[in-house]
Structure 1
Amino acid sequence: MTALVIAEHDNASIKAATLNTVTAAAQCGGEVHVLVAGHNAGAAAAAAAQVAGVTKVLHADAAGLAHGLAENVAAQVLAIAGQYSHILFPATASGKNVAPRVAAKLDVGQISDVTKVVSADTFERPIYAGNAIATVQSLDEKKVITVRTTGFDAAAATGGSAAVETVAAQADAGKSSFEGNEIAKNDRPELTAAKIIVSGGRALGSSEKFNEVMTPLADKLGAALGASRAAVDAGYAPNDWQVGQTGKIVAPQLYVACGISGAIQHLAGMKDSKVIVAINKDPEAPIFSVADYGLEADLFTAVPELVKAL
């Protein structure tokens, strides 16, 4: 049995989600190979070869793979899928875009959001917004899996010495094209990779108050900023800050929730955090049920006091 991990990268380096996926692949048994599909992505392939536990890196290089368009990446995966028993993707926006196409073409059922590998054909995944864990067994010859990265430790980024093998790149499918992107500039850590996250909820009342109250705390802690869906929908925070079932799934060392009631959808996105601190003036707020430390207080008073104490 050999597992294939589809690397997420920026053509220069490997993204953190790939390291967690390598750990999951190793637990499936057998060797772990990594596919780096990109354009002028030699540096990314070299970085993948350094990851502990990886035995081979397959490098496909073509202009059509430069931006990770789902149709082209799926075609590249399918071209080499024959030799693999398990094909794993990080359960990110990109992974969730490519994996179903691969599963459909292989005529197998996709196993989504895996949080634990029980055996080579049996996996655990959350259902009902994380309130229950389903144990899923697949009898398909090939397993197409998306990995919830918060469920697995990251493989060491150095220490490996895998061989890099060039594979023939597939022709551009011509079904989609990259037109451009607008990258939001942010000096803070990326939300899904941050060790500390400070999140605000609807109780903050406005985007001005959100910035006034939450930013100093995040600055003091060197934290990423997050928000509940209610705060994002109200326009207090940008979409890419949303934590929860329909936002980003995070598991930092420290998660500070300010003015967040703890709706089930939000808890699904952050309850695997190592230490959870909740500040809320409602003693019945569901967030306290998962918090390691809870402070029943008005956030407009408590957060500035916390900043001063820090």
Structure 2
Amino acid sequence: MSVIAFAKNWNGKFKSSTHELVSYSKKLASDLSSCLIVVSIGEVAEEELKSLGKFGADKIISVNDPKMNILTSRVYAEVLAKIAEKESVKLLVLSDNNSGKAIAPRVSVKMKAGLVASVQELPTSLDPFIVKKRVFSGKAFRYVQIDSSVKIITIAKNCFGIVENPVESVIEEFIPEVDTELFKVQVIEEEEQKNKVILSDADVVISAGRGMRSPDNWGPVEDLAEVLNAATACSRPVSDEGWRGHEEHVGQTGKVIAPNLYIAAGISGAIQHVAGISRSKCIVAINTDPEAPIFGIADYGIVGDAMEILPRLTEAFRNSKS
């Protein structure tokens, strides 16, 4: 069973999530005694493509077409399906991010493939093909068997890690025939966000809740985020009150994130919030209430006032850096 991984690029560059995807897919291909084919769509320099060989990409198929720099799910699904059929691929792997969530279902329909989203680890069995995923807002796990001949999975962030497995990659150009009617999305204007870490991409997130008591007390949160080059986030009550923008709301009804480090200051830990951050590798909770639910999922807990603890943490990290 050959394996294809879709490597999304951001302005011609691959991020750590792509490196994790290739690392995971390489191990899966090795377990299947197969080679790994990585597909890149859009303009990416050859040197950047070759960098995927560091993580195990045996063959890289590049669709280096400027028309495809804009991620249009209908176009990308069409291209991936064509490549999978050309290479007789039976297993496709995508990241469980916005692009993967948009593309994978379309490819699934085109190829009559079974699809499981947000897989948490390598398959527990290859024959039959069984994978593990979270259900009930992260409160339980489910094992799902895919019986179709073509299989598609999307993998959750931080489910495997980045593993270097250098190989000599072969780069192959591919020019697919795609119906021009599919190219309906146009970018009229771009606004670049500067001097701020994007929440969904952040390795470290500093989040705060109503325990901060006022929107005027967000200085310590932002100071710590600056020292750690972290993104800032908040609980839903904070965004509902207008203390912070809704783009920072993490939880079941907000953004679901999986950073390497998540610091929750003044957040009680309602199940709706936990559903959005439970995939974090390490959770540090700061709360005045020792019985707060957030301590039940935290790796480290600090009982105390976030207004006093955050500045001390900031000072400690500054000193350690210097």
Structure 2 length-normalised TM? 0.85
Q: Percent same amino acid at aligned positions?
A: 29
Q: Which runs of 5+ in 1 are unaligned?
A: none
| Alignment equivalent of 1:293, drawn from 290, 293, 300 | 300
Instruction: Show the counterpart of 2:8.
Output: 8
Instruction: Show the counterpart of 1:165.
Output: 172
Residue 309 of structure 1: CA displacement? 4.8
Question: Do 1:199 and 1:227's aligned partners in 2 also have CA atoms closer than 8 Å?
Answer: yes
Q: Taking structure 1 as reference, are residues 155 and 229 closer, same or farther at Cα in structure 2, changes over 3 Å only? A: farther
| Alignment equivalent of 1:53, drawn from 38, 41, 56 | 56
Residue 159 of structure 1: CA displacement? 3.1
Higher alpha-carbon deviation: 187-196 or 127-136? 187-196
Question: Do 1:127 and 1:133's aligned partners in 2 also have CA atoms closer than 8 Å?
Answer: yes
Question: Do 2:204 and 2:259's aligned partners in 1 also have CA atoms closer than 8 Å?
Answer: no
Instruction: Show the counterpart of 1:255.
Output: 262
Rounded Cα–Cα distance in structure 2 between residues aligned with 1:38 and 1:73? 10
Instruction: Show the counterpart of 1:64.
Output: 67
- Report how many aligned residue pairs link the two structures: 306
Q: Which runs of 5+ in 2 are unaligned?
A: 318-322
Instruction: Show the counterpart of 1:116.
Output: 121
- Counterpart check, 1:154 vs 2:162: yes
Higher alpha-carbon deviation: 129-138 or 165-174? 165-174
Instruction: Show the counterpart of 2:235.
Output: 228
Residue 22 of structure 1: CA displacement? 1.8
1:133 aligned partner, one-letter code? F
Q: Taking structure 1 as reference, are residues 233 and 67 closer, same or farther at Cα in structure 2, changes over 3 Å only? A: farther
Question: Do 2:256 and 2:275's aligned partners in 1 also have CA atoms closer than 8 Å?
Answer: no
1:144 aligned partner, one-letter code? I
Structure 1 length-normalised TM? 0.88
Q: Taking structure 1 as reference, are residues 161 and 169 closer, same or farther at Cα in structure 2, changes over 3 Å only? A: same
Rounded Cα–Cα distance in structure 2 between residues aligned with 1:41 and 1:181? 24
- Counterpart check, 1:77 vs 2:80: yes
2:211 aligned partner, one-letter code? A
Residue 70 of structure 1: CA displacement? 0.8
- Counterpart check, 1:187 vs 2:195: yes
Counterparts of residues 120-131 of structure 1 (less than 5 Å):
120=126, 121-131=129-139
Question: Do 1:71 and 1:173's aligned partners in 2 also have CA atoms closer than 8 Å?
Answer: no
1:105 aligned partner, one-letter code? K
Residue 217 of structure 1: CA displacement? 1.7
Deviation track 1:11-59 (CA, whole Å, cap 9, x = no partner) reads 42212212222233234322111100113654543333x3321110001
- Counterpart check, 1:35 vs 2:39: yes
Residue 168 of structure 1: CA displacement? 1.6
Residue 193 of structure 1: CA displacement? 4.5
Instruction: Show the counterpart of 2:217.
Output: 209
Aligned partner of residue 269 in structure 2, secondary structure: coil
Q: Taking structure 1 as reference, are residues 27 and 233 closer, same or farther at Cα in structure 2, changes over 3 Å only? A: farther
Instruction: Show the counterpart of 1:26.
Output: 26
Question: Do 1:72 and 1:173's aligned partners in 2 also have CA atoms closer than 8 Å?
Answer: no
Rounded Cα–Cα distance in structure 1 between residues aligned with 2:316 and 2:173? 55
Instruction: Show the counterpart of 2:97.
Output: 92
Question: Do 2:204 and 2:229's aligned partners in 1 also have CA atoms closer than 8 Å?
Answer: yes
Question: Do 2:223 and 2:314's aligned partners in 1 also have CA atoms closer than 8 Å?
Answer: yes
Residue 183 of structure 1: CA displacement? 4.0
Question: Do 1:91 and 1:113's aligned partners in 2 also have CA atoms closer than 8 Å?
Answer: yes
RMSD of the TM alignment (CA)?
Answer: 2.4
